[in-house]
Amino acid sequence: GEDHLVLQTLQPHAKWNEGWKKLCDVEKQLSKKHPFAYTPQFGYLTSHLSNAGTALTAQVFLHLPALIQLDQLSEVLMKELGEEVMANGLTGTQEFVGDIVILQNRFTLGLTEDHILETLHKTATTLMTYEKKLRTVLIETRDALIVDKISRAIGLLKHSYQIETKEALDALSFIKLGIDLKWITGLSDHDLNRLFFTIRRAHLSLYYGEEISKEMLAQKRAEYLQSVLKPIEIKR
């Protein structure tokens, strides 16, 4: 079976401490009326042993295109990823769709909540430091391979008749990198970030004001992306 109660929060821009405080406040209020299954020895008695103890699962989503596209992510993860943290992509595997890396705590038992959160935050900060250093190099050298991939991504999203989610996310990652490096104009980083969510089926149905069939989904996604990305250009 599953746990009766699961509390979740999603915080942007690394404001994890604010999200954690909100969850603690909600948990405190709930515990006044609904006592949780808890023992001093094993902590929270969850339905799955892998969640026992603190019962806390925390994730950090990182966009690491420079590390991934320059084939340095594996080496960095091997060096910096401790046994308490694991890294996967959006699909739960080592395939990093959209160059998104998800860090997650491996253990919930025998550790405090603060330790789990601080370890994840430290690991995420370290990986972002590597990413920023590589981006600085890209800005200084204007790497031809990366510029070419960004240009191809623009062409793909501007001219595709239909496109699947994975292909769109991979292309959007290059465009986001181009915007971050100041190589692309015409769209803000904030508006680009929204596309990682709005190209999904439910969001597209909301945008078009109608239910979109599976047969038409890829076509409608391409149509939507063309309209949003029409003003973008790459600096030569």
- Whether the model clears a pTM of 0.85, i.e. scores above it, the answer is yes
**Yes or no: is domain 16-140 CATH 3.30.590.10?**
yes
Long-range contacts from 34-43, C-beta under 8 angstroms, 24+ separation: 34/5, 36/5, 42/109, 43/108, 43/109
Decide if pLDDT at 15 tops 90.
no
Query: Cα(first)–Cα(last) distance of the chain, in Å?
Result: 57
pLDDT digits (tens, 9 = 90+) for 101-160: 999 999 999 999 999 999 999 999 999 999 999 999 999 999 999 999 999 999 999 999
CATH 3.30.590.10 domain span(s) along the chain: 16-140
